[in-house]
């Protein structure tokens, strides 16, 4: 029998009616002759409510206790889904992440998967159970509950699909697939039939909320092909795979925006070996992820360093960096909210020139100021004022013709 892993996000199980619909889909998939493993997220809004409750009883709850608390959201949704399957004549059982054999390191709130031992899942599938696993969580070697970070249920699904050698992995969500841009921002955004892992990884890192970036990294590393599709429609979605069709002929495959950015600038940094390391070590030890980094040219032995982080971590970063700025003799620490990141992504950039010029000209004509620029082999990202980001996305989407996505003609440059 084929083995299918299906993941359902918070909106897909957002109320009891939707949970019943998921249960019916799971039963139908099994009736089609498949073993079924379902990964379930907490019901929409539950995780945020639990975080709110935690901060009502404690201004600084420990990450250990938060992990135990937040894991209950997935426990509840998983148990309810199993109940719904059983009430409809199916045969289901719910498992926590630990019971599913997901072993993590001991880093609370952002744990990384160390190993998966799916023995119990195999035994239950052999007994014709629909196995329903709580996403977003695992257990450390010390026996403590850990969580995998926001969007961690995606990672649970991809990792289990790889460990189980599943024949298919389907990520069910509240959108129809991966689009050229957020349809709520760009009305004529187009759904992509296929996307390369590298492109989706860059889009996830650039702010697209379709998939957790760590989940895409895992899929790429272990070759887990998966489909992103809607929970509410029968239509096919977007297949994520190693190489998409016309991969290099299509220059830009998507535009992503991230409104949750904050910018930190340290001025008057001495241009000496080891200084930058001291700055970034201070925040890396707190597991604060730095995105874009820009260092100005040195003038009179001093330079300015700017970087972006998630806005929720700005206050913590300021507190950690304040003593470091004093120790290294820098001039000033500036923290800026209200900025956003816009990124254009496409593997075709490897073999086509002029993308940066078109992007910068497009934004310039729209009177949109660029504060920071960062590039990779297949992505160009800019930081702009948050108030401009939606208009910037619309202008960029139009500039690159993404509403009528077609392979580029006449712009291929020779390689080598």
Q: What is the pLDDT of residue 414?
A: 29
Q: Count how many residues are written for the chain.
A: 416
Per cent of the chain over pLDDT 90 is 85
Q: How far apart are CA 99 and CA 87, in angstroms?
A: 23
Q: Which structure tokens are listed for 147?
A: 């969580």
pLDDT in tens, 311-356: 999 999 999 999 999 999 999 999 999 999 999 999 989 888 899 9
264 strand-pairing partners: 307, 335
User: pLDDT by residue (tens digit) across 157-176?
Assistant: 999 999 999 999 999 998 89
Q: Average pLDDT of 33-60?
A: 97
Using alpha carbons, select from 34, 38, 72, 27 the residue that is nearest to residue 53.
Answer: 72
User: So what's the pLDDT on residue 235?
Assistant: 87
pLDDT of amino acid 249: 67
Residue 393's pLDDT band, with cuts at 50, 70 and 90, is: very high
CB 132 within 8 A of CB 93: yes
The rounded distance, in Å, linking the Cα atoms of 109 and 278 is 25
Q: State whether the Cα torsion 235-238-241-243 is positive or negative.
A: positive
Q: What is the pLDDT of residues 197-231, one digit of tens each?
A: 999 998 887 777 788 889 999 999 999 999 999 99
Span 39-46, average pLDDT:
98
Residue 401 clears pLDDT 60, i.e. is over it: yes
pLDDT in tens, 372-392: 999 999 999 999 999 999 999
Asked if residue 405 lies in contact with residue 246, where contact means CB atoms within 8 angstroms, the answer is no
Strands 2-8 and 34-40: parallel
Domains parsed from the chain with CATH numbers: 2-174 (3.40.1160.10)
Residue 149's nearest CA partner among 185, 189, 182, 107 is 107
Beta carbons within 10 angstroms of residue 119's beta carbon: 10
The predicted structure's pLDDT at residue 246: 62
pLDDT at 410 over 60: no
Residues 257-309 have pLDDT tens digits of: 999 999 999 999 999 999 999 999 999 989 899 999 999 888 889 999 999 99
Q: For residues 283 and 321, what is the distance between their CA atoms, to the nearest angstrom? A: 7
The whole-number pLDDT of residue 297 equals 87
Q: What is the pLDDT of residue 16?
A: 98
* Pairing of the two strands 379-385 and 302-310: unpaired
- Burial string for 23-51 (b: 16+ CB within 10 Å, else e) reads bebbbebbeeebbbbbbbbbbbebbeebe
pTM above 0.75, yes or no: yes
What does the mean pLDDT of the chain come to? 93
Per-residue pLDDT, averaged over 66-95, amounts to 99
User: Residues 39-64: what's their mean pLDDT?
Assistant: 97
How far is the C-alpha of 38 from the C-alpha of 82, rounded, in Å?
10
Neighbours of 15 (CB within 10 A): 11
DSSP-based helix, strand, coil % in the chain, nearest 5: 35, 30, 35
Query: Which residues are bridge partners to 6 per DSSP?
Result: 38, 170
Question: DSSP label at 250?
Answer: S
* Mean pLDDT to the nearest integer, 27-53: 98
pLDDT digits (tens, 9 = 90+) for 86-103: 999 999 999 999 999 999
């Amino acid at each position: 029998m084929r083995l299918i892993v299906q993941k359902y996000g918070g909106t897909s199980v957002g109320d009891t009616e939707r949970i019943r619909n998921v249960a019916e889909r799971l039963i139908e998939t099994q009736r089609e002759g498949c073993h079924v493993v379902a990964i379930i997220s907490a019901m929409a809004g539950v995780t945020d409510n639990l975080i709110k409750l935690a901060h009502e009883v404690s201004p600084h709850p420990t990450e250990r206790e938060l992990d135990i608390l937040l894991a209950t959201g997935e426990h509840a949704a998983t148990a309810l889904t199993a109940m719904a399957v059983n009430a409809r004549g199916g045969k289901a059982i719910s498992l926590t992440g630990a019971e599913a054999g997901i072993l993590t390191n001991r880093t609370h709130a952002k744990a990384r998967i160390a190993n998966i031992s799916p023995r119990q899942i195999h035994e239950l599938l052999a007994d014709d159970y629909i196995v329903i696993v709580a996403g977003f969580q695992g257990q450390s070697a010390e026996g403590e509950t850990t969580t995998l970070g926001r969007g961690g249920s995606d990672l649970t699904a991809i990792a289990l699909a790889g460990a189980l050698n599943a024949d298919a992995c389907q990520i069910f969500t509240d959108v129809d697939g991966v689009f050229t841009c957020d349809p709520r921002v760009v009305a004529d955004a187009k759904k992509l039939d296929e996307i390369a892992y590298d492109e989706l990884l860059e889009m996830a890192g650039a702010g697209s909320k379709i998939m957790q970036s760590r989940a895409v990294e895992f899929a790429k590393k272990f070759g887990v092909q998966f489909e992103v599709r809607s929970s509410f429609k029968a239509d096919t979605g977007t297949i994520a795979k190693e190489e998409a069709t016309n991969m290099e002929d299509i220059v830009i495959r998507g535009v992503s925006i991230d409104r949750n950015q904050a910018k930190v600038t340290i001025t008057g940094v001495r241009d000496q070996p080891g200084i930058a390391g001291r700055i970034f070590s201070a925040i890396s030890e707190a597991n604060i992820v730095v995105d874009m980094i820009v260092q100005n040219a040195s003038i009179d032995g001093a330079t300015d360093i700017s970087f972006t982080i998630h806005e929720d971590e700005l206050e913590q970063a300021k507190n950690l960096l304040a003593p470091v700025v004093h120790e290294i003799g820098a001039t000033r620490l500036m923290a800026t909210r209200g900025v956003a990141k816009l990124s254009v992504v496409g593997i075709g950039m490897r073999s086509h020139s002029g993308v940066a010029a078109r992007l910068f000209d497009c934004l310039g004509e729209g009177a949109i100021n660029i504060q920071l620029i960062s590039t990779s082999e297949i992505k160009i990202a800019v930081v702009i004022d948050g108030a401009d980001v939606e208009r910037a996305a619309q202008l960029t989407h139009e500039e690159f013709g993404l509403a009528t996505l077609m392979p580029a003609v006449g712009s291929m440059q020779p390689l080598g």
